[in-house]
Structures are given as C-alpha cells and as structure tokens.
Amino acid sequence: MSLAESPFCCPCFHCLSSMSAALLFLPYWFIDRLLSCVVFTTVDHSHGFLLRFLCLVFGVPFFLLLFLLSLPLGLFGFLFWAPLQRARRPFAYQRTLKDQDLPKLTRGTECPFIFISANLCLLPDGLARFSNLSHTQRRTRAISRSLCCSPESTEQNGKDTQPVCRTEDVMPMIRMPRKAEEDSRAEDDVHFEVSMCFPRNADFVCLQEVFDARASSKLRRCLRPFFPHILYDVGPSGPHSCGFKFFNSGLFLASRHPFAAVEYYFYPNARGEDALASKGLLCAKVHIGVTENMQRIVGFINCTHLHAPESDAEVRCDQMSMLLSWISDFQTKHREDGEVIAFDVLCGDLNFDNCSSDDCLEQKHKLFSVYRDPCRDCAGRDRLGTMGTLLRADSLYHEAVNTPANLKRTLESETDRRLYIAPPLPEGTDETGAHWTGRRIDYILYKESSSLLPLNVKKFQFISQLAGLSDHIAVSLHFSVSLPGAEPL
C-alpha cells in the first residue's frame, strides 16, 4: 500500500494545522529578524561598524515592537497548532509520480547506485548566524540549483547555473545495468575524489538541518522533477514527553525510487541546545525493481543526525546503540518473504570523527562492526585520500574556500586543508601519521551481509559545490550491486 502524503489522517486536521502555522509565522519571522539584528557574521563585520550600529539601534526596537504586536495572533494560532502536533504522523511525503510498475532487472547484471549526504544548516536566519551563515532563503535557492544541475552544465569557475531538466531524469528507474564481470576491481579498491559538483543522476539525497519550513518548501519545489519521492518535515515538534520541541529533526530524504515503508524513531536523551529539536532516526524501505521471476528487489535507507555538543560522547554512543536496535526492528517488521535486499545504508551527520582523541568512545562503538565506513582504516585512523567535512566557521568566506573551484583546490592540498578544515579534538592536538584528515563528521555507511546482494564500492566523493552555502562539505558514495539468479536469498 502506498504511503499517504499528508501527515494527518483527517483532511480537516491538515487544513487546520496549515492555518494555525500561518498565524504563528508572523511572530516567528519578527523574532528571527530581531535576532538577525544582534548576531553578526564575518561578512556583516566587513561592512563596517555603522551598519551594525544601525541594526542594533533601529532594527532591534522595530522588530521587537512588531513581535509584541503580532504575539496575540500567534498565541491564538498556537492553541490549535500545538495539540494537532500530537495527532500527526512524524513525517510528510511528497509524491510527484503515481505508482508505476517496477522495472524488471535481469540476472547477472550490475546495478549502480549513488547516495548523497549533506548538512545544509538551513536554520532560521537568526540562528544560522551562530554558524557564521546568513540569508537562509537565498542559500536555499542556490543549494537547490546545485543539487539539480549536472557537472556538464556547471561552469568551471564555480558559479551557479540553472538546472537542465531532462525527461529521463524524472523516471524513477535504475540506470543502464552492466555485466558484473566488466569491472574486476577489488571490493576494497575505493577511489576517493574531490568533486566540484554533485554527481548527476543520484538515486538518494539525505539532507540534515533542513529546519526552516520555507527552505524545505523551496527544496521540494526544485527537486521534484528529479526526485519523485521526498520525505520532509520529519520528527515531532511542539509539546512532547521530553519537553517542548521548537524544531523537527531537520532530516530530508529525496529518492528516485518509491517508498514501501517509512518510520521515524525519536532520540529521548538529548541535552542542551539539541533538546530544542527532535533529532532521531528515519528508516525507509524502497522498491528498486523485480527479478525475472518477479521477486521484489528492495533497499533499506537509514538517515540520522546525532547529538551535537562535543563533550557528550556518552549521549552519542547511547544514540548509536538505539539506532542499531531500531534498524533491526524496522527491517524485521517490514521485510517480506521472497524479497531480495539490494543494500542497507546508513548516512548522516554523526557529529564525531575518526581521528580526534576526544571521540575515541564513539570510534570503538559496535556500529562499525555492523556497518562499514569506506573512509575508515581502523578506529582512530582514516584511509589515505579521505578528508574532513567540517569547515572552520570563522573562515567560511575566505577566498580559498568561498567558491566551489577554490574550495576544491584547497581540499586537494593538505597544507591548505589544515587552515580551513576543523582540526581534531581536543584543539591543539594533531593527528598521528603523515595524512591529515581533520574533522570528518558526515558519513555514508553500508552493511555487508550474506543476506544482501554482493556490493562493490566504486567511489567516494567529497563535494565542494556548497562552498559559502554551508559549514559542511557534502559527501557521495557510488556503489553497485550484482543481481543474483532466480532463487530467493
């Protein structure tokens, strides 16, 4: 049975929720503008003292007055919005195409898949400024164009281009399969690459920190010609058993392939600023195709964003233990007899790296005995060719990293990389060995098991196209699976 698009079982609840959210928008926007007049980015500082002075003297009282005037209207909307959040499903679903017959895939072929994961920091503008980012809506438009355009259509100087929409990009199908014997590279022979552009024809895009509702709407509108199936507004907000949640999880999953089942699991152990958002684990089962004897071929995708404060290693370890249990429960519940499982992937921002001594607890977690990290050599050491994915916040707009082309050149130089990638923790320490990685906190992991199809990792990319738009570097995993014979696994 297809997933319903609305998070509410009753259309009246959906309309009432939309109306109450509209009433809440004005006070929300005014308080966001007020915060933007107080928190300044390095770009704001470069504009001189006078502009900042005017924002403080005139902007703060102006937006504070507007907020107070709009507050009664917002409180009225809140009376309806808050209880409705307890009645909604913890995700919404956008479906562009109606259900279609799944493609039939012949045995002995190799089917390629491309995953993208990126933290976009699409918070309300005032909060994004704490990460030295601003203009959330403007960044969203640029990010959407970046995700939709192809490498061939992107200029080498790193400027934004308009997406080229092709008919075949709309169809949720697997690209032309190849014979497995055509590629004889060893399974561990992963090619690491710094790319200036997002890969074309990605199958799945997992995004984190898409907290702003208008940003989410812009992303969906731009991605819908390329990804017919999108999960958004993931996670509960409003009153919750663990306290009031001002934001949802920020997770956003776009797919070329239809979803067969989706569930969201909430982390109950958040602390500090992370307790304001309902972070958790999004589990999805997707339909890929059918074998010659009509066995369904499916894949499992798991997206998450772990606890952020650097000192709370125990919280992150507990969350990793929870997610392993939840993934097992989800797959046990939704796996059907006779299905062929193509892949089981876990991606997202895990908020720890594999080189910092402060993160040794997370590095040794049993998660890495279940899922494989293609960038990891062992606990505490990354493979040659990998690099950090968290940029230094104070240098986001330096010439060396403010365009995709410049950031690519910087990432390819280990000397320059040390200046702009966040260093290992604790600060002041350095990594052992000749290869310097920095904080690599964005992951795409995959499972290897006898119950899964043979998987061959081709390439892992570090993508510089979000230069100046996010404080994270996007990553992409390219792999293929070899289809079996007619017998079920």
Q: Are 307 and 361 in contact (CB under 8 A)?
A: no
Task: Please classify residue 378 by burial: count the beta carbons closer than 10 Å to its beta carbon, then call 0-12 exposed, 13-18 middle and 19+ buried.
Answer: exposed
The CATH number given to whatever domain includes residue 111 is: 3.60.10.10
- Same domain, yes or no, for 299 and 406? yes
Torsion of CA 464, 466, 467, 472, to 10 degrees: -90
Per-residue pLDDT of the chain (489 residues; tens, 9 = 90+): 568 888 888 889 989 999 999 999 999 999 999 999 999 999 988 888 888 899 999 999 999 999 999 999 999 999 999 999 888 999 999 998 877 777 777 777 789 999 999 999 999 999 999 999 999 999 999 999 999 874 433 444 344 433 337 333 333 344 444 443 344 344 457 899 999 999 989 999 999 999 999 999 999 999 999 999 999 999 999 888 788 899 999 999 999 999 999 999 999 999 989 999 999 999 999 999 888 888 899 999 999 999 999 999 999 999 999 999 999 999 999 999 989 999 999 999 999 999 999 999 999 999 999 999 999 999 999 999 999 999 999 999 999 999 999 999 999 998 999 999 999 998 766 655 557 889 999 999 999 988 889 999 999 999 999 999 999 999 999 999 988 654 433
Instruction: Judge whether 101 lies within some domain.
Output: yes
Q: What residues make up the domain containing 168?
A: 92-482
* The pLDDT value given to residue 113: 96
* The pLDDT value given to residue 151: 44
Q: Count how many domains the chain has.
A: 2
What is the CA 337 to chain-centroid distance, rounded?
31
* The pLDDT value given to residue 400: 95
* The pLDDT value given to residue 291: 85
Peptide bond into 426 cis (omega under 30): yes
- The last residue of one of the domains, among 43, 68, 85, is 85
- Same domain, yes or no, for 356 and 382? yes
**Which residue, 41, 25, 39, 37, is CA-closest to 64?**
37
Amino acid at 371: Y
- Same domain, yes or no, for 153 and 248? yes
Q: CB pairs under 8 A, 24+ apart, for 148-154?
A: 148/222, 148/223, 148/225, 148/226, 149/197, 149/198, 150/197, 150/200, 151/195, 151/196, 151/197, 151/198, 151/199, 151/200, 152/200, 154/196, 154/197, 154/404, 154/465
Give dist(CA 182, CA 205) in Å, integer.
Answer: 28
- The last residue of one of the domains, among 69, 85, 101, is 85
Q: Which of 229, 287, 305, 472 is catalytic?
A: 472
Looking at 86-131, list the stretches that DSSP marks H as alpha helix, in order from N- to C-terminal side: 125-128
Instruction: Judge whether 6 lies within some domain.
Output: no
- Same domain, yes or no, for 229 and 287? yes
Instruction: Judge whether 487 lies within some domain.
Output: no
Instruction: Judge whether 57 lies within some domain.
Output: yes
- Same domain, yes or no, for 340 and 204? yes
* The pLDDT value given to residue 159: 42
Torsion sign across C-alpha atoms 241, 243, 249, 250: positive
Q: CB pairs under 8 A, 24+ apart, for 96-102?
A: 96/170, 96/224, 96/225, 96/227, 96/228, 96/229, 97/170, 97/172, 97/228, 97/229, 99/2, 99/258, 100/172, 102/287, 102/288, 102/289, 102/290, 102/296, 102/297
Residues 6+ apart with CB under 8 A from 179: 108, 109, 110
Q: What is the pTM of this model?
A: 0.90
Instruction: Judge whether 242 lies within some domain.
Output: yes
Phi-psi map region of 433: left, alpha, beta (phi>0 left; psi -120 to 50 alpha): left
Q: Spell out a b/e string for 209-245, using b for 16 or more CB atoms within 10 Å of the CB, else e.
A: bbbbbebbebbbebbbebbbbbbbbbbbbbebeeeeb
Task: Please classify residue 328 by burial: count the beta carbons closer than 10 Å to its beta carbon, then call 0-12 exposed, 13-18 middle and 19+ buried.
Answer: exposed
**Residue 208, SS3?**
strand
Q: Are 299 and 286 in contact (CB under 8 A)?
A: yes
- Same domain, yes or no, for 202 and 341? yes
Count the helices and strands in the chain (H runs, E runs).
Answer: 13, 17
- The last residue of one of the domains, among 50, 85, 120, is 85
- Same domain, yes or no, for 164 and 109? yes
Give dist(CA 125, CA 413) in Å, integer.
Answer: 32
- Same domain, yes or no, for 179 and 270? yes
Q: Are 442 and 117 in contact (CB under 8 A)?
A: yes
- Same domain, yes or no, for 100 and 168? yes
Per-residue CA distances from 233 to 45, 151, 217, 249 (Å): 34, 29, 10, 8
- Same domain, yes or no, for 59 and 199? no
Instruction: Judge whether 2 lies within some domain.
Output: no
Give dist(CA 109, CA 178) in Å, integer.
Answer: 5
Would residue 472 show up in a list of annotated catalytic residues for this protein? yes
- Same domain, yes or no, for 226 and 322? yes
Instruction: Judge whether 195 lies within some domain.
Output: yes
- Same domain, yes or no, for 79 and 105? no
Instruction: Judge whether 5 lies within some domain.
Output: no
